[in-house]
Amino acid sequence: MMQNLPAFLRDLPQDKALPVETWNPPFCGHIDIRIARDGTWFHNGTPITRPAMVRLFSRVLRRDSDGYVLVTPVEKLGITVEDVPFIAVEMAQIDGALTFRTNVDDAVTAGPDHPLRFTNNDDGFVPYIEVRRGLEARLTRALAQDLAALAEVRDGVFGITSNGQFFPIATSDAI
């Protein structure tokens, strides 16, 4: 476990993004923290039930070329993420823009800085939104259905518009 992490987390400013992409500490190995597909965080196989603790960990999460890490200015530890680290749990449509709230209370508006992307599986399409620095949230099934209700066809492509940007889901003949 990170030796300085509890003190580091306690002293974090609560109202600003941390520059985790600028921190380059040595890799200290892997820690038994896992983020399940449903967004639940586990430590040593036990769910982390304190939402404030999960939010704090999420603020020092980064995705490197070799995986997900918790990082401070002095330490970096690898963790396991089954799909993506966050789940989008709410959506609002205001003035042509779709804004999402995640399970760790990040709010992002789909657009050039926070693109939507879609994968397809046997159940249909699965939407994701970039939250910050390559970290994504998967939309819940209910939000995916709400999003599908907002989709339109443009030039033979089925997709979603938010903040002036069109995000393709699939060609209309593939639907």
pTM here is: 0.86
The topology under which CATH files domain 5-81 is duf1285 like fold (3.10.540)
- Domain coordinates in residue numbering, the chain: 5-81, 86-174
CB 84 within 8 A of CB 136: yes
Q: So what's the pLDDT on residue 171? A: 72
* pLDDT tens by residue, 127-169: 999 999 899 999 999 999 999 999 999 988 889 999 999 999 9
In single-letter form, the type of residue at position 165 comes to Q
Helix (H) or strand (E) holding 7: helix 5-10
Q: How far is CA 57 from the centre of its chain?
A: 13
Q: Which CATH superfamily is domain 86-174 in?
A: duf1285 protein (2.30.270.10)
* pLDDT tens by residue, 67-103: 999 999 999 999 999 999 999 999 999 999 999 999 9
Calpha distance 170→117 (Å, rounded): 11
